[in-house]
Amino acid sequence: MSENIRNIAIIAHVDHGKTTLVDAMLRQSGVYRENQVITERVMDSNDLEKERGITILSKNLSIHIDEMKINIVDTPGHADFGGEVERVLKMVDSVLLLVDAFDGPMPQTRFVLKKSLDLGIRPIVVINKIDRPGARPEWSVDQVFDLFCELNADENQLDFPVVFASAKQGYAKRTLDEPAVGMQPLFDMIRERVAPPVADPAAPFQMLVSSIAYNEYIGRIATGKIFAGTVKTGENIALVHRDGTISKGRISKLLGYEGLKQIDIPEAIAGDIVSIAGFDEIGIGETLASATNPVGIPYVCIDEPTLSMNFIVNTSPFAGKEGKLVTSRNIRERLFRELRTNVSLRVEDTDSTDTFKVSGRGELHLSILIENMRREGFELAVSKPEVIFREIDGVKSEPMEYLVIDVPEEYQGTVIEKLGPRKAEMVSLQPMDGINRLEFIIPARGLIGFRTEFLTDTRGTGVLTHTFHEYAPYKGPIAGRKNGTLVSIEAGVSVAYSLWSLQERGLLFVSPGTELYEGMIIGQNAKDSDLVVNACREKKLSNVRSSGADEAIRLIPPRLLTLEQALEFIDDDELVEVTPKNIRLRKKYLTENERKKFSKKS
């Protein structure tokens, strides 16, 4: 039976069309009824995924083409969620490497491709969006070949098959001259070039857990690939933990995939991807095995985090007004629960019972966790992100990022000038029809706070992507934020009259009618020092006509910061206060006297 199974993952850079390709494959495989309403990007089922238009979590599905069953894993395209990709590669026998016909290979393409090549996987290259204006499919194939050579692919891997596709239009073809007739050429390529899973159905049962889900009725559900043997519902099996200890349990439910749905199945064979319920204390990277011969399977190494920040119990004057879950116990439980499914996250207790050090792959990785927590009713404060330094061979080292920028020619000089003080080193410059592609190696510290500045400098026309490159010797100090802040001196409600007089001092973050407290940051100062201001002062009314009585109050619209922008903006002595309803910026020490006392000590 395993001869008819094909296990593949779809990997690509963010926004190159992975989830849209899955949509097209599902449509053509007959999963949907004729009159069924089909949503776009059906695999992006999480609320945040729908809002942002990106994939955050890896997800499984299966389709049947004639007698062949294809198990597909849709993976995230953003580098910060690389842990999601690393842990599923052990489940599959090949990958569809998706590349945009206009952009060519991008940083995340390099990252996920290297991981799959290291495991000996032979990819199928899909050049997507060939119907896009300015598409250059042949150039993209050449760029992919160069990338394979750069990543030391072996001879078998260099002989990769290529399929040209338009996932949006729902067709694929082996050569550009062929007529577009649907996705069948891609299915044929998978049948021919993806080997069936190497597994022995007669051997003792072994399954490696690659992802964990939770169901209110049946508890924790472990999903993974069966490497050997067969398994049935109700069977007693062993759980081999990563530390080598063994516990016994019984399979309460055995689930397989039929399209997007999980269905009950009585039995599963070696080579298939299934889900098993019945074990409460099961984790990613552990092995479910035969009770009579419990042997663990080695787990793929997950890259370590590069960025950390402190999650702190909210101590502002508004604490507890908007959130339900506000105590250190609530926050600690939630963070350690996240560790069960988020393999590239680390959580540590600190000297303070109210502070937890959380480490991840990047700002987006951590901000998605914070966003999920605030939607669940949590209230907390978070500190400025800091990179994680390591000592390698006695040398202090820091994480470096591979940065790719696509920018119109007229802004190229500004971008290069801004990246110089951030210790960026240019490695490549390629002109592309009025747009230049600049590639840099830059310390991860140098990218904190750069994105907002970059979008302003390029008038929103630049595209910036980056991925972890390597640890390299420390590059020396990098200057932080140049501007100070406008800090509220008293609690109250902001008034249009006060804000009107303050807007010439800098850029405001609040609008009239916003509740403020002492120490809350209400704007960015035009100068490099902090300025304490009163935004609650109303106009004095008297029976004497003043010279400015008839002046109209015209306010410049405030800049409302998103969570990521707020995390990029804050300095070492500042925090972001996150509640279910608001994102506020504040000073660590709220009163001016406390701030002066602290600055003298430091």
Mean pLDDT of 342-351: 87
* H or E element at residue 418: helix 409-419
- Asked if the model's pLDDT at residue 337 lies above 70, the reply is yes
Contacts of 366 by beta carbon, 8 Å cutoff, 6+ apart:
307, 309, 358, 360, 385, 567
What is Dmax (Cα atoms) for the chain?
A: 98
**pLDDT(427) > 60:** yes
pLDDT for 455 equals 84
pLDDT, position 551: 64
Q: SS3 of 526, please?
A: coil
Q: What is the pLDDT of residue 78?
A: 65
pLDDT recorded at residue 461: 85
Asked whether residue 331 carries a pLDDT value surpassing 90, the answer given is: yes
What b/e sequence results for 186-210 when a residue is b if at least 16 CB atoms lie within 10 Å of its CB, and e otherwise?
A: bbebbeebbeebebeeeeebbbbbb
How does 537-565 read in b/e, with b if 16+ C-beta sit within 10 Å? beeeeeeeeeeeeeeeeeeeebeebebbb
Burial label for 382, CB within 10 Å (0-12, 13-18, 19+), is: buried
Name the strand (E) or helix (H) holding 335: helix 328-338
Question: Residue 382's pLDDT is what?
Answer: 94
Residues 526-549 pLDDT 10s: 988 889 999 998 877 777 666 555
E strands, 156-242, where?
A: 162-166, 171-173, 206-215, 219-228, 231-232, 236-240
pLDDT at 575 over 90: yes
pLDDT surpasses 60 at 182: yes
366-414 residue pLDDT tens: 988 999 999 999 999 999 999 889 888 889 999 998 888 888 888 889 9
Q: Is the pLDDT of residue 433 over 90?
A: no
Q: What's the pLDDT score for residue 548? A: 57
Distance between CA atoms of 502 and 500, rounded to whole angstroms? 5
* pLDDT tens digits along 223-249: 888 888 888 888 899 988 888 888 888
Is the pLDDT confidence value at 77 over 70?
Answer: no
pLDDT at 587: 93
Percent of the chain whose predicted confidence (pLDDT) is above 90? 20
pLDDT band with cut points at 50, 70 and 90 for residue 35: very low
User: Amino acid identity of 581?
Assistant: K
Are 276 and 207 in contact, with CB atoms under 8 Å apart? yes
Position 549 scores a pLDDT of 56
Alpha-carbon distances of 583 from 78, 305, 566, rounded to whole Å: 24, 25, 8
| Percentage of the residues of the chain whose pLDDT score is greater than 70 | 92
| Bridge partners of residue 464, in order along the sequence | 405
Mean pLDDT of the chain: 85
Q: Please, are residues 461 and 407 in contact by the beta-carbon 8 Å criterion?
A: yes
What pLDDT sits at residue 16?
A: 73
Is residue 48 scored above 80 in pLDDT? no
**With contact defined as beta carbons under 8 Å apart, do 274 and 268 qualify?**
yes
The band of 52, judged by pLDDT with boundaries at 50, 70 and 90, is low
Predicted local confidence at residue 487, as pLDDT: 93
Asked if 442 and 377 touch (Cβ cutoff 8 Å), the reply is no
Residue 69 has pLDDT above 90, yes or no: no
For the cut 60, the answer to whether the pLDDT of residue 123 exceeds it is: yes
Q: What is the Cα 56 distance to its own chain's centre? A: 6
Question: What is the pTM (predicted TM-score) of this model?
Answer: 0.82
Is the pLDDT at 560 greater than 70, yes or no?
yes
**Type of residue at 304:** E
By the 10 Å C-beta count (0-12 exposed, 13-18 middle, 19+ buried), 355 is classed as: middle
pLDDT tens across 250-309, in order? 988 898 888 777 888 888 888 888 889 888 888 888 889 988 888 888 876 677 788 899
pLDDT score, position 546 = 61
Q: Distance of CA 456 to CAs 74, 362, 418, Å?
A: 34, 22, 12
Residue 85 has pLDDT above 80, yes or no: no
DSSP symbols for 428-451? EEEEETTEEEEEEEEEHHHHTTHH
